[in-house]
Amino acid sequence: MVGLIQEYHARLYVFVARRVGTESVEDVLAEVYATAWRRRADVPEAATTWLFQTARNAVLHEQRSFSRRRNLHAVLRLVRPPEHTMIGDF
């Protein structure tokens, strides 16, 4: 498994970085490698397609998460903070 990661790391890094940016690339690759480790019995001998599909899935997950965070921040900017009240004032 270590040899597989070493062999594909540079290409996977470029693939992921182009899609999520350099800020998130390490997190996405960590997920790809964790998935490969958990599913090592399922990784085929010719692992290129499997690894890049796994990376694609991790990229899509990161993009959805980013979109949800961005939307949440936009909603939170619209919400006014509550007025300062004394405890017991209802």
pLDDT tens readout for residues 48-74: 999 999 999 999 999 888 777 776 777
Residue 85 domain flag: no
Residue 28 domain flag: yes
- Tell me if the pTM is above 0.75: no
Residue 89 domain flag: no
**Confidence tier at 18 by pLDDT (50, 70, 90):** very high
Cβ atoms 19, 63 nearer than 8 A: yes
**pLDDT score at 72:** 74
**pLDDT score at 4:** 80
Q: What is the mean pLDDT of residues 6-24?
A: 93
CATH number at residue 28: 1.10.1740.10
Q: Please provide residue 73's backbone torsions phi and psi, each rounded to the nearest 5 degrees.
A: -60, -40
Pairwise CA distance, residues 20 & 38, whole Å: 23
Mean pLDDT score across all residues of the chain: 85
Total domains present in the chain: 1
Residue 87 domain flag: no
Residue 90 domain flag: no
